[in-house]
Amino acid sequence: MRLAFYRGPGDWITRTIRVLTRGPYSHVEIVFSDGVRFSASGRMPAGVRFDHERHGEGWDYLSIPATPEQERIARTFAAVLEGSAFKWRGLYRFIAPWLGDGPNSDWYCSELALWMLQRCFGMFEGVPLKISPNALYRLAANV
């Protein structure tokens, strides 16, 4: 399994995220060993979803040490979360930190990825879920 971090050209939102979170990444996804991607995205249709398309250019990858059993558990959790709403207020919090977080059942990309890493792989326990793609990259790159 891998984490995929987006550093491609993007739009004004992705560029703003990169500036405010001090790094080259604006999005992160979990990529299962069969290439299926899982993420929370504000792109239409917005929400938590699986994607069977391969990534194009503009992505960097970090391996996740996972046993087949851990990956099976992660895919089960992902299937339960599929269809959850995208956490727009969580995203906007990086731009306007005084905003509240929004509903707990909603997700943004790096929050979802960190939650999965904590619950399914026992990684980064105790790290707050309010994390940017760049902060998650820095955390995961040091494993």
What would the pLDDT profile of 71-129 be if each residue is shown by its tens digit?
A: 999 999 999 999 988 876 666 666 666 565 555 667 889 999 999 999 999 999 999 98
Tally of CB atoms within 10 A around 113? 27
Structure tokens at 57: 């250019």
Rounded mean pLDDT of the chain? 88
Round to whole Å and give the CA distance between 75 and 139: 22
- State pLDDT tens for residues 34-55: 999 999 988 877 899 999 998 9
Report the alpha-carbon distance of residue 103 to residue 101 in Å, rounded. 7
Q: Give the domain 2-141 fold.
A: endopeptidase fold (from Nostoc punctiforme) (3.90.1720)
User: What's the pLDDT score for residue 106?
Assistant: 78
CB atoms within 10 A of CB 24: 15
Amino acid sitting at position 4:
A
CA diameter of the chain: 41
49/141 Cα distance (integer angstroms): 25
- pTM, two decimals, is 0.89
The predicted-structure confidence for 16-35, as pLDDT tens digits, reads as follows 889 988 999 999 999 999 99
Domain ranges of the chain: 2-141
| Alpha-carbon span 65 to 106, nearest angstrom | 27
